[in-house]
Amino acid sequence: MAAFDTNPFADPVEVNPFQDPSVTQLAHANQGGLDEFNPFSESARLTNTAQTVPAKPPSGPSQPAVLQPSVEPTPQAVASAAQAGLLQQQEELERKAAELERKERELQNSAANFDLRQNNWPPLPKKCPIKPCFYQDFSADIPADYQRTCKMLYYLWMFHSVTLLLNLLACLAWFTVKPETGVNFGLSILWFVLFTPCAFLCWYRPIYKAFRSDSSFSFFVFFFIFFCQIVIYIIQAVGIPSWGNSGWIAAFTEAGQHLAVSIIMMVVAVFFTVCALLSLFLLKRVHSLYRRTGASFQRAQEEFSQGILTNRNFQNAAAGAASSAAQSAFRGN
């Protein structure tokens, strides 16, 4: 019966593989280590924290991550920039072409009118047998910076001529009421006939030439003669008797006897005074312009010497004098 109590399906030898000594030794060794380790204990947390290596911060200053927009220009922008550049170059070329055309036209006009540059002053009628003696054109001859001053000097000369004419009429009125003042009337005629063209030739034309060609010599001629003209204006305004001027002294002399004549003479004295004041103002103005032109006394000497040496009349006179001296020396020998 004992044979029926056994398990026919059991192994004849009951062997447990986990009871092997090598396996049980390893199992006990690992189990001991696992029992000692608790990941949630304070010591394990500190150990893991100490072993953690912190990440190094970036070397540069920290900046937020920003997506940079694309800087690559679009084809439309490139085409627009190229078109704008071409338009600017075209405008520049057109401007230069217009400037060259204007200069060429001016040269052609000047070449065409070179022979037609005839004297136009004084403006006389074409039927007049006397022809103009000078050429005067402020816009063509005088630079823009000097035109106003040159015109003011021209108007001063005209005012000077009118004043001399009024002085002649005042002396005539004085002569009619007082025949013994005939000397004043005669001298007033002489001053009008003499000083009107002399003022134009001696100080107005030199300053016109000085502004036109920046001539130092013409500037010095103007300064010298115009200063003398200012002195003459002062003498005429004073009105010394028997000098041919209807100035203040002569006007006050006749105030008690002939009031109407005295008033006329006072008006002329006012005109002479205005001429003197305007002359002082314009002299100062021309001097300031002269200092900006770079003119000098040395340049004036050089221009004078060159003008004398290149003058045909002077050359002919020098040649004639040299030939006469040579003939005299030959005859003496």
Query: Tens digits of per-residue pLDDT, 77-125?
Result: 777 888 888 888 888 888 888 888 877 777 766 655 544 578 888 888 8
The predicted model gives 231-246 an average pLDDT of 93
| Confidence at 128, pLDDT banded by 50, 70, 90 | confident
The predicted model gives 57-85 an average pLDDT of 65
- Residue found under tokens 């500037």: 219
The torsion angles phi and psi of 74, rounded to 5 degrees, stand at -80, 160
In a domain, 277, yes or no: yes
In a domain, 253, yes or no: yes
In 10 A of CB 14, how many CB atoms? Answer: 7
261 vs 172: CA distance, rounded Å: 10
Is the distance from CB of 244 to CB of 164 less than 8 angstroms? no
In a domain, 11, yes or no: no
- If one counts the domains in the chain, the total is 1
CA 34 to centroid of chain Cα atoms: 99
User: Could you tell me the residue range of the domain that residue 266 belongs to?
Assistant: 144-302
pTM of the model: 0.59
In a domain, 248, yes or no: yes
Per-residue pLDDT of 256-295, as tens digits, reads 888 999 999 999 999 999 999 999 999 999 999 888 876 6
Is the distance from CB of 264 to CB of 169 less than 8 angstroms? yes
In a domain, 184, yes or no: yes
In a domain, 208, yes or no: yes
Residue 19 has pLDDT above 50, yes or no: yes
Pick the residue with more confidence: 328 or 254? 254
261 vs 251: CA distance, rounded Å: 8
pLDDT for 50? 47
pLDDT for 328? 63
Per-residue pLDDT of 307-331, as tens digits, reads 555 556 545 655 565 566 556 665 6
Residue 122: is the preceding peptide bond cis (ω within 30°)? yes
In a domain, 243, yes or no: yes
Is the distance from CB of 177 to CB of 258 less than 8 angstroms? yes
In a domain, 212, yes or no: yes
Residue 303 has pLDDT above 70, yes or no: no
